[in-house]
Amino acid sequence: MSNNAGLFSSSLGRKYLMAITGLFLCSFLLVHLIGNVALYTDPVKFNEYTRFMSSNPLIRVMEIILVVGFLAHIIDAVLLTKANKAAQPVKYAMDKKNSSWYSRNMGLTGSIILAFLVLHLQSFWYQYKFGEVVYVLDSNGESIKDMYTIVITAFQQSWYAGIYVIAMVLLGSHLNHGFQSAFQSVGLRHKKYTPTIKKLGTAFSVLITLGFISFPIYFYFSQL
Ligand code: HEM
């Protein structure tokens, strides 16, 4: 690829874009997980958190960046995989033997996470914006949409909770490889730091997986 081709049309540029959008999505996941902890502590606080997420202007801007980031991440993943296969078909086949399951199945786990997201956004985000959600009172005595009941009712269905558990395990696998790979793509590859970054990536994916998995498991079993 020529140097004149421009950063984002080159394979290196695409790697950077993948890494930056991936790390942005990681930070979104952390904020989303922290917000969801209110499901355990206080239904009113959780409803106030979802209202904040849906109405705060700064969050709206972040939402647009998030959607663009998601699309860029997905399109780049497809382009990068095609370019890798076309450039080095033999090396690609050999790499299969020497690489981890996580790294070889980024496309598969990413596609399942995308399918999960369609279900997730339909049941919560779409429901919040356009569905018929019952109103309750917030901490100031004003009307607020009761997303708490929507979420726990969803998790009380075994098939729905089951899909979340499977999707979260695959999300963990995707993050476990993606996190350290993103740092390498932006040039942070060093004998001294790479093992620490890998450990950090694994710790992050375990935290995200166990954190998100805990909600469907807790609310499913607490009704029995
Ligand atoms: C399992 C626990 C989860 C719960 C209880 C949960 C709950 C919710 C709720 C209630 C909303 C709608 C209100 C809002 O915007 O905050 C929402 C939105 C969203 N969730 Fe989740 N979520 C979970 C996991 C995830 C995961 C694992 C992902 C990503 C892989 C994700 C991605 C999103 C996205 C992208 C939105 C739309 C955000 C926006 O722009 O408003 N969620 N979630």
- pLDDT tens for each residue of 40-57: 999 999 999 999 988 889
| Residue 171 Cβ < 6 Å to ligand 1 | yes
Q: Using CA atoms, how far apart are residues 41 and 108, in angstroms rounded to an integer? A: 35
- pLDDT tens for each residue of 153-204: 999 999 999 999 999 999 999 999 888 888 877 777 777 788 898 999 999 9
Residue nearest to atom 14 of ligand 1 (CA): 50
Query: Residue 162 C-alpha to ligand 1 middle, in angstroms?
Result: 17
| Residue 45 Cβ < 6 Å to ligand 1 | no
Residue nearest to atom 2 of ligand 1 (CA): 212
Long-range contacts of 100-109, Cβ-Cβ distance < 8 Å, separation of 24 or more? 100/177, 101/173, 102/173, 102/174, 102/176, 102/177, 103/177, 103/181, 105/173, 106/77, 106/174, 106/177, 106/178, 107/77, 107/81, 109/170, 109/171, 109/173, 109/174
pTM greater than the 0.75 cutoff: yes
Can you list the domains of the chain with their CATH numbers?
Answer: 8-222 (1.20.1300.10)
Query: Residue 181 C-alpha to ligand 1 middle, in angstroms?
Result: 24
